[in-house]
Structure 1
Amino acid sequence: MVTLRLYGHPFSSYTWKALIPLYANATPFEFRAVGPEHPDNGAFVAAAHPAGKFPVLVDGETTVIEATSIVEHLALNHRGEAPLIPADPTAAATARMLDRVFDNYVMGSAFRIVSAYLANSANPDAAEVEGGKAGLRRVYRWLEEWLTAHSLPPHVSLVTCGAAPSLFYADWVEPIPAEAPRLAALRTELLALPAVARCVDEARPYRHFFPPGAPDRD
């Protein structure tokens, strides 16, 4: 019997973050899409999350909000071949650190650009767009330096779940530069993972919704 329900949207980066561990560990679950065609699902999310945001995971009598917390919950309660959280406490702390970097500074910077186009697609706020791009260039440099000196936990981990969607969309609005070959290689590596590739494919029908315009690649 399937006891897990995930509420989200296939084009949402944070929904991907929750889907990747489910796919990687072949965890049985029911996906409930949030959108105008499914008002009941949207109403549930609005009631379950303090800001009405998805993804939301329901596991029996337990409701979990926020994508990072969903990954943590799955690691504790629905274990599989993919470890999700490293067993070593120090490695786990590093994974959580990188998760924050990808969420706050990669996805966060990319979202500044997307938000500017959502606010005014014809004339987005130039300062917001450049601020987002500058933030991405800065975090790209930081990640390249970090990857030069350190190794990531094996896939699929919390880092994978945060890095894959954030790098996927960030590279659309500010391409990873030639000066960051390790980061570019990581993005390619992540997109080749079956769990991530499945998210990419399921989101293809919605690419025309990407506010700045989706590039003809990936």
Structure 2
Amino acid sequence: MLTLYGHPLSSYTQKVLIALYELGTDFTFREVNLGEEADRALMRSVEPMGRMPALRQGDFTLSQSSLMIEWLDRHHPGPQSLLDPEPDASLPARQWDRFLDFQVMQMMQQIVDARIFMAEGAEERVAPFARAKLDLAYAALDRRLDGRDWIAGGFGLADCAAFPALFYAGAVHPFADHPQLTGYFERLAARPSIQRVIAGARPYYGWFPFKDGIAARFL
């Protein structure tokens, strides 16, 4: 039995869910609330650092969302591969996947963490740097998407990373003045796999500290 441990609001959980839905893989979703001690203990028994998401099949466990998607594509293939099996040909998808995680998701998370966890005034110190980095990332993505429907060939690994990264980053720091990126986001949001992820996360969007930046159509 294949089990994904995570939470519907978690961006990295969403990334793996998109891949699972795209591949049509049978799996069990174990929702985890790290605010509960029982669930924290469960995750420590599943993943060495107690992090989510985690993917388990029998005695085999994977953390790190990108590795999960690569493993799923190899061992639970769907109608269309999410990553080219040839190592060099897969490099653009891997590169943009890392770009979206590090330059978009993590910059967004710095601003969110400053608001939630840090002392008063931290957001004012952290946000300008992170927002400037997001502006650079948005511009790079806008250039990359000129003439492309998806980040690297057909829909794949990088696009699984893109929706949660852009959804939350866009709520924190909008990208509406980047037309190629905006069009790409709309294509992502229209996919059935992503519609399922949105539906699963909708009851929890009120927990997001920048929920006022989430478009009403998603709420």
Same topology, TM > 0.5: yes
Contact kept? 1:54, 1:65, Cα under 8 Å: yes
How far the C-alpha of 1:76 sits from its partner, in A, is: 1.0
SS in 2 for 1:89: coil
**Equivalent position of 1:161 in the other structure:** 160
- The reply on whether 1:212 has 2:218 as its aligned counterpart is no
Structure 2 letter corresponding to 1:171 = G
**Equivalent position of 2:113 in the other structure:** 115
Distance in 1 separating the partners of 2:34 and 2:135: 36
Percent of pairs with identical residues: 33
Distance in 2 separating the partners of 1:123 and 1:201: 34
Contact kept? 2:47, 2:61, Cα under 8 Å: no
**Equivalent position of 1:135 in the other structure:** 133
Call closer, same or farther: CA 1:36–1:158 in 2, change over 3 Å.
Answer: closer
Call closer, same or farther: CA 1:204–1:214 in 2, change over 3 Å.
Answer: farther
**Equivalent position of 2:169 in the other structure:** 170
| Superposition TM-score, scaled by structure 1 size | 0.90
Aligned length: 214
Structure 1: which 5+ runs fail to align? none
Contact kept? 1:4, 1:59, Cα under 8 Å: yes
Distance in 2 separating the partners of 1:124 and 1:93: 37
Call closer, same or farther: CA 1:145–1:199 in 2, change over 3 Å.
Answer: same
Distance in 2 separating the partners of 1:78 and 1:164: 22
Contact kept? 1:111, 1:132, Cα under 8 Å: no
Distance in 1 separating the partners of 2:134 and 2:27: 34
Distance in 2 separating the partners of 1:37 and 1:145: 40
How far the C-alpha of 1:9 sits from its partner, in A, is: 0.3
How far the C-alpha of 1:148 sits from its partner, in A, is: 2.7
Structure 2: which 5+ runs fail to align? none
Structure 1 letter corresponding to 2:59 = E
SS in 1 for 2:30: strand
| Superposition TM-score, scaled by structure 2 size | 0.89
- The reply on whether 1:186 has 2:189 as its aligned counterpart is no
**Equivalent position of 2:50 in the other structure:** 52
Distance in 2 separating the partners of 1:45 and 1:138: 35
Contact kept? 1:8, 1:32, Cα under 8 Å: yes
Q: Over the residues paired in the alignment, what is the CA RMSD in angstroms?
A: 2.0
How far the C-alpha of 1:212 sits from its partner, in A, is: 2.8
Contact kept? 2:23, 2:73, Cα under 8 Å: no
